[in-house]
Structure 1
Amino acid sequence: MRLHRNLCFAVIDGLTLIFNEGNYADKVIQQLLKRDKRWGARDRAFVAETTYDIVRWKRLYAEIAEVKEPFDRENLWRMFAVWATLKGIKLPDWSYFEQTPTRKIKGRFDELSKIRKFKESIPDWMDIMGEKELGEAVWTKEITALNEQADVILRVNTLNTTKEKLQETLFDLDIETEILKEYPNALKLKERANVFTTEAFQNGHFEVQDASSQLVAEYLNVQPGMRVVDACAGAGGKTLHIASLMENKGQIIALDIYGNKLNELKRRAKRNGAHNIETRAIESTKVIKKLYDKADRVLIDAPCSGIGVLRRNPDAKWKLQPEFIEKIKVTQQDILQQYSRMVKVGGQMVYATCSVLPSENQNQVASFLKSEAGGNFSLIKDKKVLAHKSGFDGFYMALLERKA
């Protein structure tokens, strides 16, 4: 591979914004890809994948390059040189790469690869927490899996098309996909491609949604004609899946504390042809109280650490703090206590997170069931999805039923 100066500069500019200014990697990369209209698909892929790679392995590369935060541009070029050397890419004769100790880089990599926190490029606290919650053997496998690049998975919108038709349509555009047996509405891209520019996407024939995330709506056991509340709907990935499972029949009430996310859901619902979704911003507790005892199904896709989705959000490793996780656990239990009251007698509720930590998952459900609010609920089943076993994101979901 030959390195091109303008592409490498884009990567360094992106890393400056992500590491030193705290910008989100996905937003930075979106902007970088608009920098030069002459860039082809290969150029854009290089910028996006190289930036994500260096973000993912920040701690390891910084340690090998012997640089510390905040990183100036010279430090970032040193980290870039580490990335290129470990990839087997010949460094061009640029001033940034003068005196790069290629042999030393490889030796240091071999040395640090024996220490998990460096090998997997994670903060000390995360390594300690992961081992404490999952045990050393499982955590070692899980964090390795969470450092792999995520596949692109589509969820077929069955309101508008079928899996087979969508697969044919994309094949005609030279986008090859494969069917995933245990995921009824999923297609996996064989190679990464910009699917958002396709007519099929514009016409609402699919959404991009990880396979593990697609299990959650299925777990809710919805039927056409029900009244369903998606209590932490966000921009509505799971809401739209519920709408397709309900065949546009019945009512879905999408709640969230962020009105701008619900506006995005409205736009997506229109594109998807999902007509049974009503959005309500949670501006006070009245919004929840009005729905007490009214819902056949309630989905609580709770705010969480997001440790199960590090593959697609590698910069979260550097933004997350242990204090945040402790706070979010309090929020999770508060949400369970309050929102569970929307479930009517005989109704069901799913509590889900994109975390692999038991303290955010089964422990929260156990605490809820022991509480007064959870006394009239029973656990029907739960599912722990680990990335190293599934090959997809880490997730948790529990189905509970309200008894008489």
Structure 2
Amino acid sequence: MRLHRNLVFAVIDTLHLIFNEGKYADKEISNTLKRDKRWGSRDRGFIAETTYDIVRWKRLYSEIADVNEPFSRPNLFRLFTVWATLRGIEIPDWKQFEDTPTRRIKGRFDELSKITKYSESIPDWMDELGRKELGKLWEEEIKALNEQAKVILRTNTLKVTPKKLQIQLDEEFIPTKPIKGYPEALELYERADVFKTDAFKKGYFEVQDASSQKVAHALNLEPGMRVIDACAGAGGKSLHMAALMQNKGQVIAMDIFSNKLKELKRRAKRAGAHNIETRLIDSTKVIKKLNESADRVLIDAPCTGLGVLRRNPDAKWKLSPEFLADIKKKQQQLLQNYSKMLKPGGLLVYATCSVLPSENQLQVQEFLNSESGDGFQLQKDEKILAHKSGFDGFYFAVLKKSK
């Protein structure tokens, strides 16, 4: 593999924004890719994957390169040198790469590979927390969460069957395969820009991980129901619910961020999902108005996102123990307050994209033991670990409210 100066410099510029200015990796990579119209899919793939790789392995690479944050430009080149050396890529004789200690890089890598916090490139506190909460499973789980995520699509059954979508994507040179046990899911054989396809523009699918696709099914939906998606965000699960309800009944998609609900409206229009109504939560009145009005309530709670580190590797460096403490309080408040919108006899699903029991089973237990949880019974819950499923780490619990 031959390195091209403009592509390497694009990676370095993007790393500077992510590491030194605290920007989000996905947004900055997306902005960088728009910089030069002449870049082909291979060039863009190199920039995106190399940047994500260096973000993912930041702790390991900076330890090998013996550099600390904030990273100067020469130090960012040193991180890049470690990345390239470990992949067996020949280092060009540019001045930025003078005196590359190839042998020392490989030696340090061998030494550090024996220590989890370096080999899996995570902060000390995260390693300690993972061991405390997951015990022996932590090492396998964090290893799986450092692998590149698969691209999974969810067929929009309001418009097309999975089989027809598969044929359509084949015609656009994107081969896929169904996944057993996930009725609407298709997995790409290799990464591709699916958003440029006609199938996407026609609203035939959304990109949604297989684990996340389990959540709407857990609600046991029927056409004609009134369903509340209480933390809808940009609405991936709301769209899935609308499809499972065959556009009949009502999905009330709620969030505290108006920009996310605006994006949801745009997606719903493309998907042909007519039974979704968005509501901004700008006061407690919005929740009170819906007291005991819904057949189903989904609380897809904000969380650490530890189960989706493969997609957001920069979250490793943005998370903190303080954030975890705050988010756990928030999760419990949401369970206590939003559960009131459920009718007697209805089902509540609590879900997170975290693998930590303290955000999952323990939150549900605390709710059931509280006054607000009186009258709720746990029907089932599912802990999805990335190293066992091959998909994102996830959790959901189904609670029934007695009549």
Same structural fold, with TM-score higher than 0.5 when normalized by the shorter chain: yes
Deviation at 1:96, TM superposition (A): 1.1
Corresponding residue number in structure 1 for 2:78: 78
Q: Which amino acid aligns with 1:28?
A: E
Corresponding residue number in structure 2 for 1:128: 128
Deviation at 1:32, TM superposition (A): 0.7
Count of aligned pairs: 403
| Residue 106 (str. 1) matches residue 106 (str. 2) | yes
| Residue 201 (str. 1) matches residue 200 (str. 2) | yes
Corresponding residue number in structure 1 for 2:163: 164
Corresponding residue number in structure 2 for 1:4: 4
Corresponding residue number in structure 2 for 1:397: 396
Structure 2: distance between partners of 1:338 and 1:319? 28
| Residue 33 (str. 1) matches residue 30 (str. 2) | no
Deviation at 1:359, TM superposition (A): 0.2
| Residue 57 (str. 1) matches residue 57 (str. 2) | yes
Residues 44-85 of structure 1 show CA distances to partners (whole Å, capped at 9, x for unaligned) of 000000000000000000000000000011000000000000
Q: Which amino acid aligns with 1:65?
A: A
Task: Give matches, 1:203-222, under 5 Å.
Answer: 203-222=202-221
Corresponding residue number in structure 2 for 1:90: 90
Deviation at 1:97, TM superposition (A): 1.0
Structure 2: distance between partners of 1:202 and 1:179? 21
Residues 96-154 of structure 1 show CA distances to partners (whole Å, capped at 9, x for unaligned) of 1111100110010000000000000000000000000000x200000000000001100
* TM-score normalized by the length of structure 1: 0.99
Corresponding residue number in structure 2 for 1:154: 153
Structure 1: distance between partners of 2:120 and 2:53? 12
Residues 237-271 of structure 1 show CA distances to partners (whole Å, capped at 9, x for unaligned) of 00000000000000010110001100100000000
Residues 279-317 of structure 1 show CA distances to partners (whole Å, capped at 9, x for unaligned) of 000010000001111000000000000000000000000
Deviation at 1:182, TM superposition (A): 1.3
Q: Which amino acid aligns with 2:381?
A: D
| Residue 358 (str. 1) matches residue 346 (str. 2) | no
Deviation at 1:385, TM superposition (A): 0.2
| Residue 24 (str. 1) matches residue 24 (str. 2) | yes
Q: Which amino acid aligns with 1:288?
A: I
Q: Which amino acid aligns with 1:279?
A: T
* TM-score normalized by the length of structure 2: 1.00
Structure 2: distance between partners of 1:310 and 1:133? 17
Residues 162-191 of structure 1 show CA distances to partners (whole Å, capped at 9, x for unaligned) of 100110111111111011011110001001
Corresponding residue number in structure 2 for 1:141: 140
Residues 192-226 of structure 1 show CA distances to partners (whole Å, capped at 9, x for unaligned) of 00010111101100000011111111111111000
Q: Which amino acid aligns with 1:172?
A: E
Structure 1: distance between partners of 2:166 and 2:7? 33
Corresponding residue number in structure 2 for 1:340: 339
| Residue 386 (str. 1) matches residue 385 (str. 2) | yes
Structure 1: distance between partners of 2:285 and 2:221? 25
Q: Secondary structure at the match of 1:296?
A: strand
Q: Secondary structure at the match of 1:274?
A: coil
Q: Which amino acid aligns with 2:388?
A: K
Residues 15-59 of structure 1 show CA distances to partners (whole Å, capped at 9, x for unaligned) of 000000000000001111111111111000000000000000000
Corresponding residue number in structure 1 for 2:278: 279
Q: Secondary structure at the match of 1:184?
A: strand
Task: Give matches, 1:291-370, under 5 Å.
Answer: 291-370=290-369
Q: Secondary structure at the match of 2:70?
A: coil
Q: Which amino acid aligns with 1:119?
A: S
Runs of 4+ residues deviating >4 angstroms? none
The sequence identity of aligned pairs, in percent, is 71
Q: Which amino acid aligns with 2:369?
A: K
Corresponding residue number in structure 2 for 1:264: 263
Q: CA RMSD in A?
A: 0.5
Q: Which amino acid aligns with 2:61?
A: Y
| Residue 231 (str. 1) matches residue 218 (str. 2) | no
Task: Give matches, 1:167-182, under 5 Å.
Answer: 167-182=166-181
Q: Which amino acid aligns with 2:50?
A: T
Corresponding residue number in structure 1 for 2:239: 240
Q: Secondary structure at the match of 2:183?
A: coil
